[in-house]
Chains A and B, each alone.
Chain A
Amino acid sequence: MIRSGPGRYLFLALVALLFLFLLGPVLLVFPISFSADSFIAWPPSGWSMKWYAAMLEQPTLGVALRNSLILGSIVTVLALAIALPAAVALSRGTFPGRDAIMAGLTAPLLLPTIVLGLALLIIFVGQGLIGSWPGLILAHLLITVPYALRVLVTTLGTLPASVEEAASSLGAPALQVFFRITLPLMTPGLIAAAAIVFLVSFDEVVITLFIVGPHLTTLPVALFRYVESRTDPLVAAVSVMMVLFTLTLVVVLERAVGLRRAIGGKAG
């Protein structure tokens, strides 16, 4: 670590530059959203709130937002319902192929999303799932369950087995041990998993692009479509709302459970 002298300032400058590079585009969105122009330009010729007003009057984006929120909520509940028993089985059970199953279940994280999207398109077309709620939910579960599983397996891995053993020695059958001991102790991990699943679902574009239909679309996809045809600062206003929403969720999460602790650590 550089502690003093000009090296220290150079180091700080480098860090600042890096932050600017990573966050610059996001930060730029904020002033542009207050632009009075009718196209995206820098610097704006004037300032106004009109794009925020326009946002509220945009029916497609409003519906898409509602869809994204509904989708995110359903996917969060289902992803946890699937990942929780799987995580318990994977981290408490001892059976052959345990590690292989864990690897298989987290594999979608490593696949290029475009490949996943194409694969889903091919499968869904035949089943009539394109542009349908079940199709969207299935696709988002495929992407989010691995995240939930990783977080929950990590959580379970940090719970000392002896606490559960103590409960069973005190007379608690397996289900009681789970509901009275394991589950309450998993709360931080469950909250973290829920937030991550929701954010991933809320943010997902690539795979969703393949399977949305004319009557059912999500906010990120609607935004993507919007900028294909127009380049007004409305998207900037929407982006600001999305950034603020995501940030709020992350901050609340960090305060509540310590996000880094919940998602960090080893998976097995």
Chain B
Amino acid sequence: MAAEAAPPHLELHGLEKRFGATRAVQALSLSVGKGELIGLLGPSGCGKTTTLRMIGGLMPATDGRIIVAGRDVTALPPHRRDMGIVFQNYALFPHMDVAQNLSFGLEMRKIPADERQQRVQRALAMVRLEAFAARKPRELSGGQQQRVALARALVIEPSILLLDEPLSNLDANLREEMRNEIRDIQQRLGITAVFVTHDQAEALAICDRIAVMRAGVLEQLGTPFEIYERPANEFVAGFVGRVNRAAGHRGADGRLLLGDVVLQGTGHAGAGPVTIMIRPHRIRLTDTPPEGIGWNSATGTVTRRTFVGDLLSIEVALGPASLLVEQHTFAGAVVAGPGDAVRLAWRAEDTLVFPASPAGVFPAPPAGVFPA
């Protein structure tokens, strides 16, 4: 993507945060292009907030360096970093009205009053809150507070925008609307932004690139497409999108086996026990499976069928494994029910192979689809 080619604007070099024995962030290095929206994605407690707070100067780094536009800001206090931060709980100033909230950062920058007023007006217009300038934060809805928080962070024209789970306090349909609004504004202003979220759909939808983290470690950095289609490991594949997971084996001759079915897959080529992962919607139910190279096919028995309107979920027992197959529904479709034998087909490139994970890494059932 275009943003990747831009010169690095924010660089993290070996960033590290320890709380006593806890290594909340470990040797994190990444660089963010100018105007790029990068997502920090991972389960709760993986160190996203800690990373963001170190970038914003709200928390000292134990080790490592933070570079903005070539300048080392690691030791700078937050008020000299020139970063706009949108907090999870918005953190609006409750004793100030909306206009005063927005004006605060400009006053700190000693912007003259008339220019301040113009910029506050422009920022309010940007988030469509012109009519609310005189309201106190408590007189606003969650979505409006969110937009004030965003406008307050942007009105100072910061060099970098930091957002910590900005949408997690909104209800589902507002969340989608707001995430698109944030993305629009970010692109319009061409501002470099770091967006923390634990919601993979949110990250896939709006980020230029995503850094997937687990337990303080960067697991993969890539575009949404790369993260989804070419996950670097079992964790990323499982965390981003829904996926079937089955224990398989690769022989010394290179043959990939799921039970006694021979498959073609992509990824890990080493011999030994492997984990095979296939996304449910990439598997087809078909009487005439495509032949030849690039396709896998197998016969299984339907164990369960769930109709959820636009999707039909079918669980198929395939040897020792159980695969979930998702099909878009259409009127008049003939579908198999429990007990029926069905033929499945899917592409070799959709068959992700990883070295089998050591026991205990995934507490989830040994086979099946997750997240459930």
Binding site for B on A (CB under 8 A): 160, 162-163, 165-173, 176, 180-181, 184-185
Contact = CB atoms under 8 A, between A and B. Distances in A.
A175 B80 CA distance: 14
Contacts of B85: 165-166, 169
Main secondary structure of the interface of A (DSSP, over half): helix
The 7 closest A-B pairs by CB, nearest first: A170-B105, A171-B108, A162-B91, A166-B91, A169-B85, A168-B78, A168-B79
Given A167-B93, A168-B58, A169-B153, 5 more contacts: A163-B92, A169-B84, A170-B84, A170-B152, A172-B79
B89 A171 contact: no
Interface of B: 56-58, 77-85, 87-89, 91-95, 104-105, 108-109, 152-153, 156
Contacts of A162: 87-89, 91
B119 to A, nearest CB: 13
Contact of A173 (B79, B82, B105, B109): B79
A162 B88 CA distance: 9
30 contacts: A160-B89, A160-B91, A162-B88, A162-B91, A166-B87, A166-B91, A166-B92, A166-B93, A167-B93, A168-B58, A169-B57, A169-B58, A169-B84, A169-B85, A169-B153, A170-B79, A170-B105, A170-B152, A170-B156, A171-B80, A171-B82, A171-B105, A171-B109, A171-B156, A172-B104, A173-B77, A173-B79, A180-B104, A185-B94, A185-B95
A85 B94 CA distance: 22
Chain A CB within 10 Å, residue with most, of B78, B82, B84: B78
A169 B81 contact: yes
A163 B91 contact: yes
Most B C-beta atoms less than 10 A away, residue of A165, A176, A184: A165
A171 B180 CA distance: 28
A121 to B, nearest CB: 45
A165 B87 contact: yes
Contacts of B91: 160, 162-163, 165-166
Given A163-B93, A185-B94, A171 B79 contact: yes
Nearest to B59: A165
A168 B156 contact: no
A163 B93 CA distance: 6
B93 A165 contact: no
A29 B81 CA distance: 65
A184 B95 contact: yes
A176 B93 CA distance: 14
A176 B89 CA distance: 22
Nearest to A184: B95
Point out which of A162, A176, A184 has the most chain B C-beta atoms below 10 A from its C-beta. A162
Among the interface residues B83, B93, B94, which one has the most CB atoms of the partner chain A within 10 A? Answer: B93
B89 to A, nearest CB: 6
Nearest to A177: B79
A160 B152 CA distance: 18
A166 B85 CA distance: 7
A184 B136 CA distance: 15
B56 A169 contact: yes
A166 to B, nearest CB: 4
A169 B104 CA distance: 11
Contact of A169 (B83, B88, B94): B83
Contacts of A181: 93
